[in-house]
Structure 1
Amino acid sequence: MTKAEAPTHGSALARGLTLLLGLASSAGFLYLASRRITLSELERTLREAQLWPWLPLAVLCYLTGHLVRGLRCQRLVSGEARLSWITATHVVVLGYAVNNLLPARLGELARAGMLAERSGLPFVQGLSLTFLERVLDGVVMLGLLLLALATLPGVRPEWLEATIGLGAALFTTALGVVLAAVLAPSLILRWTSRLTQNVSARIHDAAVRQVDSALCGVAHLGQPGAALPILGLSVLTWLCEAGLFLCLLPALGMAPDPRVALLAMTVTNLGILVPSSPGFIGPFHYFCMQALAAVGVAEARGLSYAALVHVGFYVPITLWGLGILFGYGVQLSQAVRDQRRALPGGLFDGPLDAPGSQPDPESTPTLLALCDGLIPHGTEGDAARAEALPSAARFTAAQLSALPLRLRILFALGLGGFRVLTWLRFGRPLTRLTSAQRARWVGGFAYGRVGLFRQLMRAPRATAVLAYYEHPRLRAELLPGAPARPTERIISSESLTQGRVATERNSSESLTRDRGGQRD
């Protein structure tokens, strides 16, 4: 086996083991759910079910919940990209449909990929948005579960206590990660750079870029008044899904009790976090049946109810997602064909300057002051910072000059507006502010609550931080035992090539962002 084949074989083996684990889990939960139920009991209960009008109403509630999810997704990316409500809904539905069809929750990757293609956002930022939504969903579910238990006296089995404890620990930890990313992004970025200083330049540069993209994914929650509407949409989403569970209670002869519907919905959705086959077959039925058993529903009726809810949960969204997947695939393949006809030699068809062959342009005093505000103040000495900062500013100027003309013009206009705001706020230019004032003022723009300001600072932000911590003087002072890097450039040749390619790719993504909201 060649070295090139080894990773492929390993990943295929991992996928196979994941699938086998999911199938075994599903089989085990199906056995637990049906071991005390005869087939005749199950058949009789399902035959007596009154599907009209309850099943159509249940499906309508569930699909409405996905429309609300689409609105939440649109609001979460509103500070970074323009995305129509329909497109955002399609992104969400595609992820759920792929989870229903493929193992290992691959729908999250498909969703992040479609979001990146439609909006121009980095793929990692799409993943961080998905993670944020999952955390919000988990927090809301736990709250609704506690509400249901508080209004259902005497319903507190031991297995449910364990489920609540495990879910609370999981989502509290995840919520802490989100809050840290929202409240202290600069600190996280600084420690990312420090922790990866003793590895290769490629890994360090990639880590800084990816962490910066992930931080941008949750930055919307830092805007004034943004968290409450997002939380409200999350609650509305799960109330709509509770409608699916509520409407199907009378279909099987049970009273339409909202408390029971909330209990069944929250326990079922927490239960399907365990690995299973595509579509959550097995855990879905077992945990839904157990939730109803806690309020005295017979096992045969509970399993029939779970099967009926699963039909409403699985079939409509999967069909919708398959339609999106077909249409999206056709549009994507057409776009690739158009690009190949327009650029037969590829995006980089033409000569590129070799790293180091062109000297970095001199930085302006304003850009130097801007970099000073963007780069966190750590434990390095003043002399080291004074030496590394101009080099980082020159490299940032070089990267900004490599942007396409349209983006350079937009950045120049934005920087001009920023300078005017600085004059209005302080009565003097950015270059005459103290270092502490610059850090607070520039940081408020780079990581603050207004998406337009974050977009303005996106281009110089990660570049300046990366170049600063790559400077030999900084490496020698912060990491005395780290291997030396070439001193003729602040970035190694390999790293610089990667940075320029990433700059061109991000520029290409930015050019498509204006069109992202118009493509459904």
Structure 2
Amino acid sequence: MVEAQARRRGKWASLAIGTLISVACLAFIVQKVDFDQVKLAFQRFEWRYFGLGIACLAFGYAMRIFRWSRILNAAGAQVRFRQCAAPFLGSIALNNVLPLRLGDVVRALVFPTSIGVLRATSTSSLVMERLVDLMTLLIWLAISLSLSRHLPVPGWVAETALALAIAGAAALVAIFVLSGAIARRLKSSPSLPVKALVALLEGFDAMSRLPVLTTLFGLSLLVWVGEAGLFYSLLIGFGLGATPTTAMIVMAIATLATLVPSSPGYVGPFHLAAFAGISLLGGTSDQAASFAVLSHLGLWVPTTLAGAIAIASTPQMFKGLRRMRDQ
């Protein structure tokens, strides 16, 4: 009882902190912009590029779903792209509207039941997916900063991003290499938490074979190329200096900012990071604010709508929740 109350207080505290951070980020931007000029920037935007950006985003999310299906198959689950689409998109929509990334929790523990995937396998796949995404994003950021000479960014920023990517990749490799040996050592334990850990580690072990990792990193590159396409299209639409490297830099900065606690939908930190990225490119405060708003809407609205449709058309995804209640 006491532990449950402590967990609830912790969740409320996290939500409060995230909301305060969101408000602070938005307040900073608001005091920097002239809303009449922001309106003018939207009026001058070439909207045909918005459609191109959404098409790039759709490609990126198709690669995300395909990647998840490949990870699950590597761990022994027999699933196809079509089966994975609804649970994946549904979890993204829930992440967009619920606090504390609850959509990830639902994808790990609830949705897998509907496609015949063990919760331990789904959880392992989610952890691997997030770690590989982070490493890939840091590598893209480091390379893009190195190639983009005209940005007023200190050299140590690119060097730090590259060092973090290398250190993270080394840690990732170590975890996956050792996961099988650790699982075998712990397998004889009767403890339920230890058994859950063993199942998680066994999932890592199955997913960390070299052909699987090679495919995973290749698909991750395509994921971020697709998402960068949205940012590139918006940069062109606003008439800002647009190159693939600058688009990748802005996308990486804004995406990494979503790791900061915030309100649902990553409101605040995402906007401030996108605002800072456009300011680095030489855009005005009004252009930066307009870009931040439109890029967030371009990411949030299509994925939320697609996820809502997936949930509404596939209610059987929640049968895992009923099973959890019955246990």
| Same fold, TM-score > 0.5, yes or no | yes
Q: Structure 1: how far apart are the matches of 2:317 and 2:121?
A: 23
Tell me the CA shift for residue 243 of structure 1. Answer: 0.6
1:41–1:300 CA contact under 8 A, matched in 2: yes
Matched with 1:180 is 174
Tell me the CA shift for residue 260 of structure 1. Answer: 1.4
Listed as ranges, the matches of 1:302-381 within 5 Å are 302-330=288-316, 332=318
Tell me the CA shift for residue 50 of structure 1. Answer: 2.0
Tell me the CA shift for residue 250 of structure 1. Answer: 2.0
Listed as ranges, the matches of 1:496-515 within 5 Å are none
1:59 aligns with 2:45: no
The higher radius of gyration belongs to 1
1:72–1:233 CA contact under 8 A, matched in 2: yes
Deviations 1:458-477 (A, max 9, x none): xxxxxxxxxxxxxxxxxxxx
Tell me the CA shift for residue 165 of structure 1. Answer: 3.4
Matched residues, percent identical?
Answer: 23
Q: For residues 83 and 186 of structure 1, do their structure 2 counterparts lie closer, same or farther at Cα, with a shift above 3 Å needed?
A: closer
1:100–1:318 CA contact under 8 A, matched in 2: yes
Task: Let me know the Cα RMSD of the aligned residues.
Answer: 2.8
Matched with 2:73 is 78
Tell me the CA shift for residue 268 of structure 1. Answer: 0.7
Tell me the CA shift for residue 118 of structure 1. Answer: 3.2
Matched with 1:136 is 132
Q: For residues 133 and 12 of structure 1, do their structure 2 counterparts lie closer, same or farther at Cα, with a shift above 3 Å needed?
A: same
Matched with 1:207 is 193
Q: Structure 2: how far apart are the matches of 1:268 and 1:215?
A: 31
Q: Structure 1: how far apart are the matches of 2:33 and 2:245?
A: 26
Q: For residues 116 and 331 of structure 1, do their structure 2 counterparts lie closer, same or farther at Cα, with a shift above 3 Å needed?
A: closer
1:146 aligns with 2:162: no
Q: For residues 166 and 235 of structure 1, do their structure 2 counterparts lie closer, same or farther at Cα, with a shift above 3 Å needed?
A: closer
Q: Structure 2: how far apart are the matches of 1:286 and 1:163?
A: 20
1:28 aligns with 2:14: no
Q: For residues 86 and 311 of structure 1, do their structure 2 counterparts lie closer, same or farther at Cα, with a shift above 3 Å needed?
A: same
Higher helix share: 2
Listed as ranges, the matches of 1:9-24 within 5 Å are 9-24=5-20
Q: Structure 2: how far apart are the matches of 1:168 and 1:106?
A: 31
Match of 1:294 among 267, 273, 280: 280
Q: Structure 2: how far apart are the matches of 1:297 and 1:335?
A: 48
Matched with 2:99 is 103
Matched with 1:394 is none
Tell me the CA shift for residue 190 of structure 1. Answer: 5.3
> Which ranges in structure 1 are unaligned for 5 or more consecutive residues?
195-200, 338-345, 348-520
Deviations 1:96-132 (A, max 9, x none): 2111111111121111124531343332332221111
1:231 aligns with 2:217: yes
Amino acid at match of 1:65: G
Q: Structure 2: how far apart are the matches of 1:107 and 1:289?
A: 27
Matched with 2:64 is 69
2:265–2:300 CA contact under 8 A, matched in 1: yes
Tell me the CA shift for residue 189 of structure 1. Answer: 2.5
Deviations 1:473-494 (A, max 9, x none): xxxxxxxxxxxxxxxxxxxxxx
Size of the alignment, in residue pairs?
Answer: 324
| Partner-residue secondary structure (3-state), 2:57 | helix
Tell me the CA shift for residue 306 of structure 1. Answer: 1.3
Q: Structure 2: how far apart are the matches of 1:174 and 1:141?
A: 11
Tell me the CA shift for residue 208 of structure 1. Answer: 3.0
Q: For residues 93 and 331 of structure 1, do their structure 2 counterparts lie closer, same or farther at Cα, with a shift above 3 Å needed?
A: closer
1:192–1:207 CA contact under 8 A, matched in 2: no
Amino acid at match of 2:221: V
Deviations 1:280-335 (A, max 9, x none): 11111111111121121112101101111111100010011112222333564599
2:95–2:101 CA contact under 8 A, matched in 1: yes
Tell me the CA shift for residue 238 of structure 1. Answer: 0.4
Q: Structure 1: how far apart are the matches of 2:291 and 2:60?
A: 20
Deviations 1:75-102 (A, max 9, x none): 1111311111022232322222111111
Q: Structure 2: how far apart are the matches of 1:156 and 1:88?
A: 42
1:41 aligns with 2:43: no
Q: Structure 1: how far apart are the matches of 2:35 and 2:242?
A: 26
1:81–1:119 CA contact under 8 A, matched in 2: no
Q: Name which structure has the greater RCO, CA cutoff 8 Å, separation 6+.
A: 2
Q: Structure 2: how far apart are the matches of 1:319 and 1:335?
A: 22
1:272–1:280 CA contact under 8 A, matched in 2: yes
Tell me the CA shift for residue 157 of structure 1. Answer: 3.1
